[in-house]
Structure 1
Amino acid sequence: MISWQNIYGHEQIKADLQLLLQENKLPHALLFSGIDGIGKLLTAKMLAKSLLCCNSQQGNMACCYCNSCKMFDEQNHPDFYYLEPEGKTRKLIKIEQIRQIQAKIALSPYLSDKQVVIINDAQYLNDTAGNSLLKTLEEPIGEVFFILITSNKDMILPTILSRCMKIYFAPLSYLDVAKVLQQKIQIEEDKAKIIARLSGGSILKAMQFIDDDALALRQKALSCLQDNFSIKDIWSFIDELSSFERNKINDIMSHLQMLLRDLLLMKVNKDSDIIYNQDIKDDLLNIQNKYDEVSLLTKLTLVEEILKRLNSNADIKLILQKFILDWQNK
């Protein structure tokens, strides 16, 4: 059973949404944006559950015991529709999916007096699907509410953005992430705090750091900063990295991005509380003097470029060769 209490952080957003519900002023189209894994979808579902609740005396806060709330928790509510991208190699929300939803919401609600549509990863709407959705947002039929969720609102058509009330979800505090890990996964406090700092405020990312393999990938990223590669070492390192799956290489580069960010921060304040890698701060202090600010910023740009290229279909080995050679020369 989901409730507002299940949602960690975002206290102001929850309060604002609850007030809009109580005053019956919630717009018919909302856009929740922010990084993955911070509670956007859970908040959207709780908002949907509240809208569909049969107990209007509860101020539309979701009573959690009426037939509507029970069916929502059982994931078979007839007036709730959930949409997400299809496809394994290339994610897309296609026009056929939008048309199916349009046909369903054209009918009267079955159980509640409203209907709710959640579109997750809305940045993957293709142009035809986006334009078709736009027509529905411009001319809503009855009491239908759309909640779009995205980690990249810049990929969404500006015309759709203009029709939505935009709500930005900031990353969670590391203490909130640590609390989730301790309460939901039963991870010991010290380890939970280390993982929480590395998560960048994302519970989804924190989950990826739970096994020891994730910290081994961080060590691989750290070696890029620690080692002075000879020509022979460079090619051996490229071969080693090339043996990893693409998603593991992406994780290594994400770690490297956080390490560079920490090194830049430590140039200003080595005792800052917002350093991600607090548990290996001594290692970072040992290599800090190897790099000046310009060098760190240049290397950070290289990492951002390779992270973009890793999302393409380009050959992994060629991507890594260019990256390591540029890394050595910067």
Structure 2
Amino acid sequence: MKTAAGFNAIVGQPHATRLLKTFIRNGTLPHALLFTGDEGVGKRVTATAFAMACNCLTLKSVIRHHSSHLDAIDACGDCGPCRKIARNHHPDIIRVAPLSSVIRIAQIRTLLKALTLKPNEAERRVVILSDAQAMNPEAGNALLKVLEEPPDRTLLVLTARQTSDLLPTIVSRCQHIRFSPLRTADIKQLLAAAGDIEPESIEAVAALCGGSYTRAARLIDSRWLNRREWIIQVMEIQMADHGESGIRAWLAWSEVLAQKKDLIEESLEILTMWLRDILVFKTDPQRVLNQDRLEALSTAVNQVSQTQVLQQIDAVDRARAALRANTNARLTLDAMALQMAGACLR
């Protein structure tokens, strides 16, 4: 998932890179590719590596001399086209991404206009359309035109989380490649290479990030780790207090949560992971996300029943849905806290 050296620098996606190398070696490049998978698993970086390989002058010579070994199919990183693409300076590598969370029809019309012209210098012009699920219906329908009648020497690479987020007509016109979540070992490798990070933090975040390096890089922030620690400590105390006084503590906690509105979603996500781990711990400790807090989980399992935990998860899910609908944050969190307190009293 590093950016400068092509396929062989991509971590954790051997299936995807093998397919792309095979297309290039055999000269069977699809006119449109669809990369699906979670955010932070390497879709955009792989799209850039693919664009480099399609235009690398050194690789072109290798293929001309009939080298059939897949390991030889990669961009050199040193020729003119490779350097321009790696630096995002190549005129024929066109990138389209959401503006304010949406890809609008005006962006697709601009793209279509550009594609009526011949490539400036590339062997293969490559369009990388990131987060294609963000296209509004008009933009999606406009894109169909270029997918149905692809311009000469032009390849399109769309990225999205899942095929169901796109128009079926778009999916049907693309060669689909699924990207897997990164393994914990891959995340650890990438975090270790990123800089001076404590091994304990790497261990915790690699288990919590769900196979997404983007998410791991966000979670490694000490502020997130401190917030997780605070939420777990609060849950340890309040789950142990089954008395009426506990209700006041739950409401005081919801008041603190509501004070930092930009962190509410993050806090509820941490809370959901913790409650989920309590359910999982008794039957399959290896699947626990908070691997560094196994002792606390062991205590929590003996404090609350499965039914109580499920009721608390339901309360958090309801709050998250209500907040996405722009309800009053304080009132929503108070309602969640009361439901969670009520679950502990049962």
Residue type at the aligned position of 2:271: L
In 1, are the aligned partners of 2:105 and 2:139 still within 8 Å (CA)? yes
Question: In structure 1, what is the equivalent of residue 316 of structure 2?
Answer: 303
Find out whether 1:224 has 2:244 as its counterpart.
no
Residue type at the aligned position of 2:42: G
Q: CA 1:289–1:14 in structure 2 vs 1: closer, same or farther (change >3 Å)? A: same
- Residue among 140, 145, 164 paired with 2:150: 140
Q: CA 1:232–1:17 in structure 2 vs 1: closer, same or farther (change >3 Å)? A: same
**How many angstroms does 1:141 deviate by?**
1.6
**How many angstroms does 1:177 deviate by?**
0.7
Query: For the residues of structure 2 that align with 1:217 and 1:313, how far apart are their CA atoms?
Result: 23
Find out whether 1:286 has 2:299 as its counterpart.
yes
Q: CA 1:26–1:306 in structure 2 vs 1: closer, same or farther (change >3 Å)? A: farther
Question: In structure 2, what is the equivalent of residue 49 of structure 1?
Answer: 52
In 2, are the aligned partners of 1:221 and 1:253 still within 8 Å (CA)? no
Question: In structure 2, what is the equivalent of residue 268 of structure 1?
Answer: 283
Query: For the residues of structure 2 that align with 1:296 and 1:169, how far apart are their CA atoms?
Result: 33
Task: Give secondary structure in 1 for the equivalent of 2:192.
Answer: helix
Q: What's the TM-score once normalised by structure 2's chain length? A: 0.86
Find out whether 1:40 has 2:53 as its counterpart.
no
- Residue among 169, 179, 199 paired with 2:179: 169
Task: Give secondary structure in 2 for the equivalent of 1:167.
Answer: strand
In 2, are the aligned partners of 1:93 and 1:129 still within 8 Å (CA)? yes
Q: C-alpha offsets along residues 15-35 of structure 1, whole Å, 9 cap, x if unaligned?
A: 121112211223222221222
| 1:145-224 matched pairs, under 5 angstroms | 145-222=155-232, 223-224=234-235
Q: CA 1:101–1:263 in structure 2 vs 1: closer, same or farther (change >3 Å)? A: same
Task: Give secondary structure in 2 for the equivalent of 1:230.
Answer: helix
Query: For the residues of structure 1 that align with 2:62 and 2:305, how far apart are their CA atoms?
Result: 59
Q: More deviation in 253-262 or 292-301?
A: 292-301
Query: For the residues of structure 2 that align with 1:161 and 1:329, how far apart are their CA atoms?
Result: 46
Query: For the residues of structure 1 that align with 2:196 and 2:147, how far apart are their CA atoms?
Result: 43
Q: C-alpha offsets along residues 91-119 of structure 1, whole Å, 9 cap, x if unaligned?
A: 11111100111111111111122211111
**How many angstroms does 1:152 deviate by?**
4.6
**How many angstroms does 1:292 deviate by?**
3.2
**How many angstroms does 1:317 deviate by?**
1.7
Query: For the residues of structure 2 that align with 1:301 and 1:19, how far apart are their CA atoms?
Result: 47
Task: Give secondary structure in 2 for the equivalent of 1:280.
Answer: helix
**How many angstroms does 1:266 deviate by?**
1.4
Task: Give secondary structure in 1 for the equivalent of 2:94.
Answer: strand
- Residue among 8, 21, 26 paired with 2:24: 21
Q: Structure 1: state its 5+ residue gaps.
A: none
Q: CA 1:30–1:311 in structure 2 vs 1: closer, same or farther (change >3 Å)? A: farther
- Residue among 43, 58, 63 paired with 2:62: 58
Q: C-alpha offsets along residues 251-307 of structure 1, whole Å, 9 cap, x if unaligned?
A: 11111222222222212133x2x3211111100100112333344344334434433
In 2, are the aligned partners of 1:83 and 1:119 still within 8 Å (CA)? yes
Question: In structure 1, what is the equivalent of residue 336 of structure 2?
Answer: 323
**How many angstroms does 1:196 deviate by?**
1.1
In 1, are the aligned partners of 2:48 and 2:85 still within 8 Å (CA)? no
In 1, are the aligned partners of 2:102 and 2:136 still within 8 Å (CA)? yes
Identity percentage over the alignment? Answer: 30
Query: For the residues of structure 2 that align with 1:167 and 1:290, how far apart are their CA atoms?
Result: 45
**How many angstroms does 1:66 deviate by?**
2.3
In 2, are the aligned partners of 1:44 and 1:147 still within 8 Å (CA)? yes
Q: C-alpha offsets along residues 181-235 of structure 1, whole Å, 9 cap, x if unaligned?
A: 1112232333312221121211111122223221222134322364146332232
Task: Give secondary structure in 1 for the equivalent of 2:156.
Answer: strand
Q: More deviation in 296-305 or 118-127?
A: 296-305
In 2, are the aligned partners of 1:21 and 1:61 still within 8 Å (CA)? no
Task: Give secondary structure in 1 for the equivalent of 2:187.
Answer: helix
Count the aligned residue pairs: 324
Query: For the residues of structure 2 that align with 1:122 and 1:282, how far apart are their CA atoms?
Result: 43
Q: Structure 2: state its 5+ residue gaps.
A: 64-72
Query: For the residues of structure 1 that align with 2:325 and 2:43, how far apart are their CA atoms?
Result: 26
Q: CA 1:260–1:234 in structure 2 vs 1: closer, same or farther (change >3 Å)? A: closer
- Residue among 248, 256, 278 paired with 1:240: 256
Q: What's the TM-score once normalised by structure 1's chain length? A: 0.90
In 1, are the aligned partners of 2:279 and 2:309 still within 8 Å (CA)? yes
| 1:111-150 matched pairs, under 5 angstroms | 111-150=121-160
Query: For the residues of structure 1 that align with 2:310 and 2:14, how far apart are their CA atoms?
Result: 34
Query: For the residues of structure 2 that align with 1:44 and 1:79, how far apart are their CA atoms?
Result: 14
